[in-house]
Amino acid sequence: MIAKGKDMEQRAIEEVAALMCAAARTAPKAKGVDNLVTLVVTGADKDRLAREMRRVAEEHNIGFFVRDADCVDKSQAVVLLGQRPLPAYVPQCGYCGFADCTENIKNTGVCAISMGDLGIAACSAAAVAALHHIDNRIMFSIGRAALNLKLFEDDQVKEAYGIPLSVSGKSPFFDRK
* pLDDT tens string 39-59: 999 999 999 999 999 999 999
Q: What share of the chain in percent tops pLDDT 70?
A: 99
HEC string of the chain equals CCCCHHHHHHHHHHHHHHHHHHHHHHCCCHHHCCCEEEEEECHHHHHHHHHHHHHHHHHHCCHHHHHHHHHHHHCCEEEEEEECCCCCCCCCCCCCCCCCHHHHHHCCCCCHHHHHHHHHHHHHHHHHHHHCCCEECCEHHHHHHHHHCCCCCCCCCCEEEEEEEECCCCCCCCCCC
Q: What domains are there in the chain, each with its CATH number?
A: 5-86+120-166 (3.40.109.10)
Interhelix angle 140-148/43-60, rounded to 10 degrees, is 100
Question: Cβ of 145: how many Cβ atoms within 10 Å?
Answer: 29
pLDDT for 177 equals 62
Instruction: Please state the rounded mean pLDDT for residues 72-80.
Output: 97
* pLDDT tens string 110-164: 899 999 999 999 999 999 999 999 999 999 999 999 999 999 999 999 999 999 9
Query: Residues of 165-175 as b/e, b for ≥16 C-beta within 10 angstroms?
Result: bbbeeebbbee
**Which pTM does this prediction carry?**
0.94
pLDDT for 92 equals 87
CA atoms within 13 A on the CB side of 86: 10
Amino acid at the residue 172:
P
Whether 73 and 43 have beta carbons less than 8 Å apart is answered as no
Instruction: Please state the rounded mean pLDDT for residues 89-110.
Output: 92
Q: What share of the chain in percent tops pLDDT 90?
A: 86
pLDDT at 175 exceeding the cut of 80:
no
pLDDT at 176 exceeding the cut of 70:
no
pLDDT at 91 exceeding the cut of 90:
no
Alpha carbon of residue 57 to chain centroid: 18
